[in-house]
Amino acid sequence: AARAAAIGLSCRPPLPVRAVVLLDAVEGTAIEGFPRTAAWLKARPASFATRKEAIAWALSSRMLQSPAAASLSVPSRLRWNEAAKAWVWRTNIAGAAHFWSSWFEGLSALFAGLAVPKLLVVGSFDCLDNALEAAHMCGRFRLQVVPHDGHQVHEDRPAEVADALANFLGGVLRQRAAFARLCTAGSLAGEAKRSRHVESRTAGAEASESKGKLSAPAA
């Protein structure tokens, strides 16, 4: 999302990016966790007899913490393998390991540098890296920490994340409305000033004309 927003804002004319929300993604934490992610993928079962079995594994391994989220999310990540007569993972995440670094390197600086309102939502497990810590201390983005020690905060804590998004976007809309009112007030004030100036010049011209008529000698 941050990279897409950066591309959109760099276009000429820029795309209408009004705000950016980054969910549960911190460059430093992610990169430090690559070895653990690789080990977790290696230990992950390659197939399941039923989708219920896959859901149970996702909860027991703490891939997800919410039974409701697991019931909705896990089946969509599986596909039926007729040859194996089993449910297998739809996406080969381990096969993309050589791309992992490119997903996260430079993300914090890129996010902090976006010239739009920004919200970062993280779980209590995540720590801000140096770039984000410095940017947050300068007030360059809003931070919302949701009590959560997993990796899918938006799935496990949907209500808290939804509240954070609603509050943030509501603030953005209020800010835009206030700015629009300020611009309108400034435009009206400028128009009124121009009208008074025109009226003053007109009155001055009329007064000069009247004075000229009065001072003209009689024929």
Each residue's pLDDT tens digit, 171-203:
999 988 888 888 877 666 666 566 666 556 665
Give which of 158, 162, 152 is closest to 21, Cα–Cα.
162
The CATH number for 1-171, chosen from 3.40.640.10, 3.40.50.1820, 3.40.50.300, 1.20.210.10, is: 3.40.50.1820
**How does 149-164 read in b/e, with b if 16+ C-beta sit within 10 Å?**
ebbbbbbbbeebbeeb
Confidence grade of residue 13 (pLDDT, cut at 50, 70, 90): confident
Measured distance CA(160)–CA(148) in Å, rounded = 10
pLDDT at 135 over 90: yes
pTM of the model: 0.75
C-alpha triplet 15, 21, 22: angle, nearest 5°: 120
Could you tell me the residue ranges of all domains in the chain? 1-171
Measured distance CA(16)–CA(18) in Å, rounded = 6
Which residue is listed with tokens 């399941």?
Answer: 48
Confidence grade of residue 159 (pLDDT, cut at 50, 70, 90): very high
For the sheet with 78-81, list strands across it.
47-48, 86-89, 78-81
Determine contact, residues 94/152, Cβ cutoff 8 Å. Answer: no
Measured distance CA(160)–CA(152) in Å, rounded = 13
